[in-house]
Amino acid sequence: MTTTTSPALSVPVPHRAERAVRPARTHRERPSLWGTLILLVGAAYCLFPVLWVVMASTKSASELFSTFTLAPSTHLPENVVDLSQYRGGIYWRWMANTALYAGVGGLASVVVSAMAGYGLAKFQFRGKKAVFNVILAGVLVPGVVLAIPQYLLLAQVGLTNTYWSVLLPSVISPYGIYLARIYAAASVPDDVLEAARTDGAREGRIFTSIAVPMMVPGLVTIFLFQFVAIWNNFMLPYIMLGDDRLFPITVGLSGLLNQGASQPAMYTSVITGALLSIVPLAALFLTLQRFWQVDLAAGAVKA
């Protein structure tokens, strides 16, 4: 939070907000023993399942249930080969599908959120408050609840069981719009916009050349949020898709576990598949981390 802001953010507003926070923090420069301990326990709690997956993915099917849980084995390459050969490598198709849903859906969602958030933050128009309240209410409605109505609507236009059926509902993210509005309000000063207008820039130009660069850290946050949400989403694609060649990883792996009572569940392949599916997410977070200096606190205070 208090590290340097990105070069694009040469605007006074967020800095002011940071300075207000800083004096309180200087009192606590020495790390608290208890705080560190609690965080370590929390980290262990979160990382243990990952460790479990890593260890379990190295075991063969018979070792999985018979050897010590955290004892590693040597079968990871075979497990990956088995998974890759399952039904002609359909796992990698699921991986590509997931990347498509999350990547395209996340980007489209960022575009919509940025435009809507900027509009709500910087323009005065009739019904603005009502629109914003509806979006706020949308934040409170869990996406799972909407999956069935969305299915019925898309069925009417014959779009179920297509890529569109998963992409379209992912584009609108009330939370993303909400974040974008707060971020635009906090990081794009009205003075700059007015100066640009005085210089004769059109609104579209102001948005793309001035507002968007200022909002980049916030937009990266929205992208990551939405990307992870779509990547992990199960219910929506599960309901929408019947063709297993369109499945994302979540739905595909669930199918490997639920093959009916008369079939053995493919635990080893599911565990290996789960491990491989978090690799792109981890890579994405590590590369985009430097943008993740979202001063959400600043935005929240400002709003």
Partner 1 sequence: MRLHSGIRAAVALTATALLATACSSGGTSSEGETGSTGSGGKVELSFWTWAPGMEEVVAAWNAAHPDVQVTVNKQDGGDPAVTKLLTAIKAGSGAPDLMQTEYQKIPTLVSADALADIKGDLPGDVQSHFADGTWQAVTLGSDAVYGVPQDSGPMEFYYRADLFEKYGLEVPTTWAQYAEVAAELREKDPKAYLGTFSATDAGWFTGLAQQAGASWWGIDGDAWTVDIDSAATQKVAQYWGDLVEKGVIDNKPMYTPEWNAALNDGTQIGWVSAIWAPGVLAGNAADTAGKWKMAPLPQWEEGGQATGNWGGSATSVTSQSKHPKEAAEFIAWMNSSQEGVNILAQEGGLYPADIPGQAEALSEPPAFFPEQDDFYTIAAQIAQTVQPFTYGPNVNVAYSAYNDEFGKAAEAKKASAFTAAVTAMQTATVDDLKNSGFTVKD
Instruction: Kindly identify the residues of this chain, within the stretch 114-153, that bind partner 1 according to CB under 8 A.
Output: 148, 151-152
With beta carbons less than 8 A apart as the criterion, state whether 268 and 179 touch. Answer: no
**Helix, strand, or coil (residue 75):** coil
| Nearest CB to partner 1, comparing residues 84 and 213 | 84
**Interface region with partner 1, contact rule CB under 8 A, candidates 110-118, 180-188, 250-258, 280-288:** 250-258
| Nearest CB to partner 1, comparing residues 57 and 160 | 160
| Nearest CB to partner 1, comparing residues 151 and 291 | 151
With beta carbons less than 8 A apart as the criterion, state whether 193 and 210 touch. Answer: yes
| Nearest CB to partner 1, comparing residues 199 and 243 | 243
Lookup result for tokens 């979202």: 294
* CB environment 245-274: b (16+ within 10 A), e (fewer): ebbbbbbbbebbeeeeeeeeebebbbbbbb
Q: What binding mask, one character per residue, do residues 18-57 give for partner 1 by CB under 8 A, x or -? A: ----------------------------------------
| Nearest CB to partner 1, comparing residues 59 and 181 | 59
CA atoms within a 13 Å half-sphere pointing along the CA-CB vector of 36: 6
Cα separation, 224 vs 63, in Å, equals 37
Cα separation, 60 vs 77, in Å, equals 10
Q: What binding mask, one character per residue, do residues 164-203 give for partner 1 by CB under 8 A, x or -? A: ----------------------------------------
Binding site for partner 1 (CB under 8 A): 61-62, 64-66, 87, 148, 151-152, 155-156, 158, 160-161, 238-239, 242-245, 254-255, 258-267
